[in-house]
Structure 1
Amino acid sequence: MTLAPQILRYAAFTSDPEGGNPAGIVLDAAGLDDADLLRIAAEVGYAETAFVTGSADGARVIRYFSPVAEVPFCGHATVATAVAIAEREGPGRVRFATPVGEVRIETAEVDGALRAAFTSVEPRVEPMPEPVLAELLDLLGLRASQLDERHPPRISFAGNRHPVLVVADAAAFDAFTFDPDAARALMAARDWPATITVLHRLPDAADGGLRFEARNVFPVGTITEDPATGAAAAAVGGYLRALAEVEPPARVLIAQGRHVGRPSELVVDIPEAGGIVVSGGAVEIGS
């Protein structure tokens, strides 16, 4: 008789089960095939579910599935899984072998709560062609004049390719809407497996660090916007460094989730070179 896998549910980038981004977690998914993984992810219904499927060279092999497809990398599910492991094994370093390469995670107890910090793969940034920018603006009902001239549109990768737009006007940022089917079609056509990242720059932190609020378009099933997107936060860190908009080492704070009623905070540390470090807490969601 085969036992059903234990499915955990955690909210990442928050200390409140009602906030952050929910992730499904299966810590022992060895023996499950792709159809099983997709079926479980669809049953869980969150943006992503993480599956630890085995080990390789001392790293835990992890895969991520949305309710409709496998996703190369998922930051919030990585943080949630690392915290779940730390709760069971104690804090320390965890290595995940992901479809995009090895990702290192440090877990630690801070003020009585566990936090996890993952280091992304090496980021890269590419120009956003004008036709692609026009498609995005049309999708979101935005005008080019509403974008922030300090932060030009780009496509940034730190595990997934994310188009990055920064909207200068707060009202336009809060009010934009989109057709989920049209967004999904555009994302599929442009090979964007994760989210469209739309930012608004907030007043700088007291120490001068940059602060942004994010809305991440992610139409999957009943979901239209992601409440907290670790992979996109890493891509934003790579974007800011590539465009020399920060002086590394630098820390950037990203608020997200207000627009979908699940507020979260992501901390992005940008070193002079190498992967971007994204950190936050996670908490189990009660049944």
Structure 2
Amino acid sequence: MRSRRANGLVTIAALVALAAVGGNAARGSGDVTLAGAGSAPVVAITRTPAPTNARTSASAAATTQAARPQAGTSAAASTWAVTKVVDGDTIWASRDGVTRKIRFIGIDTPETGQCGFTEARNALRGIIGGQRVTLTPGARDDVDRYGRLLRYVDVNGVDAGLRLVKQGYGVARYDSRDGYGYHPREAAYVRADAGSPKAACAAPGSSGTSGSTGTTGSTGTNGGVGLSGSWPQAGDRYPCPRSRPVKGNESSMIAHEPTDRYYDITKPEQCFATMSDAEAAGFRPAKV
């Protein structure tokens, strides 16, 4: 009897132990499930700041874009001293010990040997010669294929290129109409070109004149230069127009009158009506 009772107690104890183990297993399984369920919010929390990060990235991208220089503005406007006028659309200028050749943006003037070359260069020299100018970028390219800086050239608030076009010494060119890209002052240049008469000119070496006619005799309207007979003079290799017979040589900055010894062999970069005009442009009279 006692043995059966003892066995019964053992059996009950075993069942209780098994129930406890089952309960622990159930609780353990519940703990795993909760842990698994609890891990999901962690992932969700990680994703929650994503919109904020996206806004931050967008803001950073906008800031970077704003800081990036736009096309045609790789260099800022700067002040330079004009050292030489090459022709109506090209100059040499210096700044801080650096000298560069500058090509005007958006205009074109006659080349050496073409009708109007001397007139265009003299006109430009009258506008900017020996002065300080502001050079401003604006073309699609910073330099042209010849290595010249492409710039607008302003002096005392005046656009020298636009002035030449308005006066008829140059034309609007090298812009979006002929494949060189749009530039900010293009519309103004094109309007000026359409509304301006072309300046009169004399072909180099011809007897024609630009402006007033030359005079004959020992004196006349040419400031005492003293022109007589046919023009150009016999033996003159590089004649100027009769109305502007004074030759200015830029390599020496010496001006020669028709009666000077080396006049006939002097190749002029500029021609002047009088020696006074040449001196005003920075040339000095020849001594012989």
What is the TM-score with the length of structure 2 in the denominator? 0.24
The structure that has the greater radius of gyration is 2
**Greater length-normalized contact order (CA 8 Å, ≥ 6 residues apart):** 1
TM-score norm. by structure 1 comes to 0.24
More helix by share: 2
Q: Which structure's residues are more often strand, by fraction?
A: 1
